[in-house]
């Protein structure tokens, strides 16, 4: 009987634990895991065009939305960048500073042959209420959705003005046998 009560108590106490993983992988209640591919996964929750103005500020808000609803003080926050973009560097630093304080942030290089600039940022969340209040105040000034709509690139013409689509050379009228026989030459062409 004593063993059953002990097991029941342990199960009840585990009910208060909150395991957080943005990508759905198994974790424990000590982690607020937004890795791997943090930006990609946040962008799947709320789509943001890659050419949107103030995109790093928008992703700060998207990250804080997820974290404020799912995580708690004392958890280790993990954010991961596959490509090591400057945008990831900027908004990871801003999110971590709001939640953890600047002295508590650790940046780790996770370079591989496929992703030579990959990194992750880790810190212990200690200022969740302050960060949530900051997000609430920022949203009252201008919503994230309004920022996305106002900053999104115009698609009226169908092609952005700075798009330099390469033109292909004209194909010759007679067949070319070099690519087939020698394995050289060829390439794309247009009629």
With CA atoms as reference, report the closest residue to 144 among 24, 73, 58: 58
pLDDT category of residue 190 using cuts at 50, 70 and 90: low
Report which listed range, 30-34, 127-131, 149-153, 187-191, is most confident. Answer: 127-131
Report CA Rg, the chain.
24
pLDDT of residue 35: 82
pLDDT of residue 13: 33
Q: How far is CA 18 from CA 9, 15, 21, 85, 95, in A?
A: 17, 8, 10, 30, 20
Question: CB 49: neighbour CB atoms within 10 A?
Answer: 13
Report which listed range, 14-18, 149-153, 176-180, is most confident. Answer: 149-153
pLDDT of residue 17: 39
Q: pTM of whole model > 0.75?
A: no
With a cut of 90, say whether residue 26 has pLDDT above it: no
pLDDT of residue 69: 94
């Amino acid at each position: 009987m004593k063993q059953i009560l002990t097991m029941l108590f342990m199960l009840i106490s585990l009910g208060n634990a909150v395991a957080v993983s943005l990508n759905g992988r198994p974790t424990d209640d000590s982690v607020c895991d937004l890795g791997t591919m943090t930006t990609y996964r946040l962008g799947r929750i709320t789509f943001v065009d890659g050419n949107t103005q103030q995109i790093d500020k928008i992703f700060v808000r998207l990250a804080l939305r997820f974290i404020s609803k799912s995580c708690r003080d004392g958890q280790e926050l993990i954010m991961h960048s596959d490509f090591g973009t400057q945008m990831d560097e900027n908004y990871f630093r801003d999110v971590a500073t709001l939640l953890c304080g600047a002295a508590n942030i650790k940046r780790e290089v996770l370079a591989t042959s496929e992703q030579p600039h990959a990194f992750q940022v880790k810190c212990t969340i200690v200022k969740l209420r302050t960060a949530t209040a900051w997000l609430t105040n920022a949203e009252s000034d201008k919503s994230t959705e309004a920022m996305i709509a106002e900053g999104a690139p115009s698609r009226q013409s169908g092609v952005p003005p700075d798009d330099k689509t390469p033109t292909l050379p004209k194909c010759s009228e007679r067949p070319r046998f070099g690519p087939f026989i020698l394995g050289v030459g060829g390439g794309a062409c247009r009629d």
